[in-house]
Chains A and B, each alone.
Chain A
């Protein structure tokens, strides 16, 4: 094995305090980047929760709809026009909108109504832990997530409240259906949804289209677009992208998260660069000796890059540990930090890149070494 690794590791460990400072810098930087990118992923996922759980191949929506929460409406007649298109098996109406939940003990709290036809499906609650979907057919029945019990001032199944002056009763409880806006989702039937959101009886927000078995989704989408006027027809994937794009970039949230990640990278790069530079300065005699005995510049550059990579690997491993703790701690919050294998790999590569970039200043320094200096020191 080449001595490059040994030289690099011993150079690093020669000054343990500086090495610890370097590693702490990398850990700080990587954890910061992990949080920012994890939040980005988590935000990207949570803003499309409803789209991801809808049973739809295509979405028919008012033109220019930016995201799922956009409360514009369509005319009910559109549904029948859609059903007449070849390849359309079902067009389930969905109504959404904001409403006020009147807490039994007094006071109100805004909620987000998601209403579907129980027979046709569309967007029904999932992850039920208490009650049943069928129970939503009971007059005044709603489904809420148990994580919002405190906020809604209720205790569970059977709890009563009021929405827009109408009595409601919790008949089903879900687990993990959280809104990134902190406004609780309340699932109910189509008619009740219209009443809660003051949506006219002939209006809906979306039609969720299921295509016939064997039909090509894109062909059906093109036909719907060609035959329906004044609507947008998107595949689930396209609507997910549009919605995510709106929340992440239309609101500036994504840029802020990326800016945070970039800042983390810059901080990490500066810290590692500073310590590598001073370490190289301390070992300048040794690098000059290497040059004097005939080493190529590449050999010396490899030693410095190897130092950077060793720091990166150790720093990343520790940061990954801290990151896992952060991920676990935020798992049940409204905006969980998401860590995926792909993100882990990206973070590892970013850490390596950050440390290699940090080595540039040190490399520039050793490139200027005059081997003759070994005679004067």
Chain B
């Protein structure tokens, strides 16, 4: 069996303090495999973003283990987690989070610059990444000169330029119209064809189900169902993974 690029095992996460403390994740296990686009769906407050943050080494779980390319992140400090992020994870955000004062090329190049790669080759790679997302003609454009769809493409180029093991996208189409949303999902599906890379997309838009190889439904901090993408719309809701252990890797439907 191919080793998952990112694997979360029995993740529990409490957020907040004192009386305001809530359990955001209740014993979730999820493996992100290379060559696969996984869609993480669920209502607001279900724990999608918290899970994405933990898989992307931004947050540490209260309990449970995350393995990035087989390496456990347990006990890793903020700087070690940052190193794992820059070497293995590419992030795409709903509101793009581009740097308005930098050109498209420089925005993409940042992902390499934070790794210490500021060579001429880094500039060439950044331009190649922009070409790959269809922005070869906009390498010198500033974010405000680009449409929302184009800005998200720049963000995708930034996410993939460092050839990460995992690309994690948080609602990448939420700020876009249907046409641009489809174009972005097509691009992410294309990126996910690389067997060395897994793509996880957090979304609640059912129109993008057709792009997923696998769909994971999360609700109230539990994975309630996993299914193949092409059958996602047909499946019924299941029970909370925390109750019947349906979320365990050995019970997955793929």
Contacts and interface: CB of A to CB of B under 8 A. Distances in A.
A297 B110 contact: no
A375 B106 contact: no
Interface residues of B, number: 34
B68 to A, nearest CB: 12
B67 interface: no
Given A1-B118, A290-B110, A296 B82 contact: yes
Contact of A297 (B79, B101, B109, B158): B79
Interface string A289-328: 1111111110100000000000000000000000000000
Interface of A: 1-4, 6-7, 10-11, 13-14, 285-286, 289-297, 299, 371-372, 374-375, 377
A7 B111 CA distance: 13
A323 B89 CA distance: 52
B46 interface: no
Contacts of B97: 285-286, 289, 292, 374
B99 A295 contact: no
14 contacts: A3-B106, A3-B109, A3-B118, A10-B101, A289-B93, A289-B97, A292-B97, A293-B85, A293-B91, A295-B82, A296-B114, A297-B78, A371-B85, A375-B49
Interface in B93-121: 93-95, 97, 99-102, 106, 109-111, 113-115, 118
B83 interface: yes
B102 A7 contact: yes
Interface string B76-88: 0011001111110
Interface in B196-210: none
A220 B142 CA distance: 77
Given A4-B113, A371-B82, 15 more contacts: A3-B106, A6-B102, A285-B97, A286-B99, A289-B97, A294-B82, A294-B85, A297-B79, A297-B82, A371-B58, A372-B59, A374-B91, A374-B97, A375-B93, A375-B94
Interface in B207-231: none
B58 A11 contact: no
B114 A295 contact: yes
Contacts of B52: 375
B36 interface: no
Contacts of B86: 293-295
B86 to A, nearest CB: 3
Contacts of A372: 53, 58-59
